Structure formats: C-alpha cells, structure tokens
Amino acid sequence: MHKVGKVGGDPDADLLRDANSLSYFDVSLSSYYQREGYDETLRRCLWELRRLTPSAHKHIDEIAYSDTQLQQLVGHALQMMEQETKPDTQPFTQLSA
C-alpha cells in the first residue's frame, strides 16, 4: 500500500498519492521547512506538485499558511511549475557554423 501511494497508476492509487502530497502541503510543510531550510523545501514542494494529478492541483490554492514565508515558498514553487508546463514559444533559430 505504501508503494502504491508513492507511485500511483490506477484511480485508487492516484487518489492515495494525491492525498499524500496534499498532506505534505497542509500538515508537514512547516516542520519540513524548519528542519531543512528554503532550498530543500522548495525542491520537495516541486516534487510533491509534480506528483499531483491535475484535478488535485486546485486544492493547493485552498491551503492557507499563517507564515508568509511558507506562502511565498509555495507561490515560488507554483510559478516554477507553471514555467515548466508552458510551451516553448521562442522561434526556432538555426545556429550558424
């Protein structure tokens, strides 16, 4: 069961994985940040966000943090995720030899 919650793969496993990731943001983020610091917590936030199904992403915005640093950190991670999912709009330019 633990492995299924980490990897997902079918609707029940995806639901368990989403619950696990949302729990990180809602319950564990503050203590993780205190223990690991900004950079590691940002890395972990990105990992947790990538695990979420698209339907679960909307719940991240529903989590309120009393600590503004945590709110900013999650906002930073969400911005980074948005940049990852944007299509490359730069025109192709051929490099000259």
Looking at the predicted structure, is the pLDDT value of residue 9 above 50?
A: yes
What local confidence, expressed as pLDDT, does residue 27 receive? 97
* 92 within domain boundaries: no
Letter string b/e over residues 19-44, b meaning 16 or more CB atoms within 10 A of that residue's CB: ebbbebbeeebeebbeeeeeeebbeb
Residue 52 falls inside a structural domain: yes
Question: Does a structural domain hold residue 79?
Answer: yes
- Count of domains for the chain: 1
Is the model's pLDDT at 92 over the cut of 80?
no
pLDDT tens string 21-79 = 999 999 999 999 999 999 999 999 999 999 999 999 999 999 999 999 999 999 999 99
Residue 50 lies in a domain: yes
Q: Tell me the residue range of the domain where 37 lies.
A: 2-85
Q: Is 95 a domain residue?
A: no
Note whether residue 93 is domain-resident: no
Q: Is residue 75 part of a domain?
A: yes
Task: Flag whether pLDDT at 93 surpasses 90.
Answer: no
Is 91 among the domain residues? no
CA torsion through residues 26, 29, 61, 55, sign: negative
Give the pLDDT of residue 4.
Answer: 44
